[in-house]
Amino acid sequence: HGLTTALPTALDRGEFFIEYQPLVHLGDGTVHGAEALVRWLHPQHGVLGPDRFIPLAERTGLIVPLGRWVLQESVRQARAWQQTHDEKGPLRINVNLSPCQLTHPGLVSDTVDILEQAGLEPDALCLEVTESALIGADDDLLKPLRCLAEMGVDIALDDFGTGYSNLANLRRLPVRVLKLDRSFTQSMQQCPADPVDLKIVEGIVSLAHSLNLAVTVEGVETGAQAEQLRILGCDTAQGWYYARPGPPERLHELALADA
């Protein structure tokens, strides 16, 4: 339909924009960084979320230039935050990568160029890859990720715990962060929380930490969830309880308001 024909020119017309959602340290509530989430301001349909156009962009190949634009834009934004925030330590930026970008030969060189042009250190960038994109990944697929990881870029496994996670497989992946899927956070909402889910999260955190991985939780909507996940040992959190995705100015205000 209409979206299919409008998508290829939307990038040139400047119709995409990025919202940022903070990632907060569970220990002290300070801002760690933010995840970049792309939106499309469609001239007729208004603001469309990624679920409405990312699958289409993947099928048509537009995801490669679109993903490069998202990376460039959000890396530049992260550098701008850092320049006004440095007394509190650098803010990190998380950017989602689609499986098509992983197999695109330009991934490493594009990322290096974008970081250099913006003047952002590689360790301020975290690339989020879904667990399902790395299932059965062979060395060819992992090579660019290893290369980025060696430069200091963090790789996060997004939506962790929903796929066929092969925990033993984690050892071969160049991953530094597990992003626990929202479904675990939702089950912390029940009172008392499901004891089996509590054990599962406890086990994932313990395994992650023993492999030197950080654990981020998604979809935190209440203070009670945040407290439960903090007690379970999760490191950072993201969700409406802290902030909805919003314009870059909002993140800056939140970070500067930190105690």
What CA dihedral angle connects 218, 224, 227 and 229, to 10 degrees?
-40
Contact call for residue 37 and ligand G (CB under 6 A):
yes
Contact call for residue 111 and ligand G (CB under 6 A):
no
Contact call for residue 154 and Na ion (CB under 5 A):
no
User: Which of 73/193 has CB closer to Mn ion?
Assistant: 73
Q: Which is nearest to 160 in space by CA: 151, 169, 152, 147? A: 169
Which range touches ligand G (CB under 6 A), out of 46-54, 77-85, 139-147, 162-170? 46-54
Residue 150 burial (CB count, 10 A): 10
Contact call for residue 19 and Na ion (CB under 5 A):
no
Phi, psi of 20 (to 5 degrees): -120, 135
Q: How big is the CA angle at 42 (ends 111 and 53), to the nearest 5 degrees? A: 55
User: Which of 20/195 has CB closer to ligand G?
Assistant: 20
CB of 17 to Mn ion, least distance (A): 17
Q: Pick from 35, 131, 154, 158 the residue near Na ion by CB under 5 A.
A: 158
CB of 38 to Mn ion, least distance (A): 11
* H-run or E-run covering 63: helix 63-83
Which range touches Na ion (CB under 5 A), out of 24-32, 83-91, 110-118, 150-158? 150-158
The answer to whether 206 and 233 have CB atoms below 8 angstroms apart is: yes
Contact call for residue 240 and ligand G (CB under 6 A):
yes
d(C-alpha 174, C-alpha 148), whole Å: 9
Report the DSSP beta bridge partners of residue 25. 236
d(C-alpha 53, C-alpha 38), whole Å: 10
CB of 255 to ligand G, least distance (A): 13
**Residues 157 to 186: which contact ligand G by CB under 6 A?**
158-159, 177
Contact call for residue 128 and Mn ion (CB under 5 A):
yes
Contact call for residue 221 and ligand G (CB under 6 A):
yes
Contact call for residue 126 and ligand G (CB under 6 A):
yes
Contact call for residue 158 and Mn ion (CB under 5 A):
yes
Contact call for residue 23 and ligand G (CB under 6 A):
yes
Residue 4 burial (CB count, 10 A): 11
Contact call for residue 51 and ligand G (CB under 6 A):
yes
Q: Pick from 19, 73, 159, 235 the residue near Na ion by CB under 5 A.
A: 159
Amino acid at 29: G
- Whether the CA torsion 227, 251, 17, 125 is positive or negative: it is negative
Phi, psi of 157 (to 5 degrees): -90, 110
What is the contact surface with Na ion in residues (CB under 5 A)? 158-159
What is the contact surface with Mn ion in residues (CB under 5 A)? 96, 128, 158
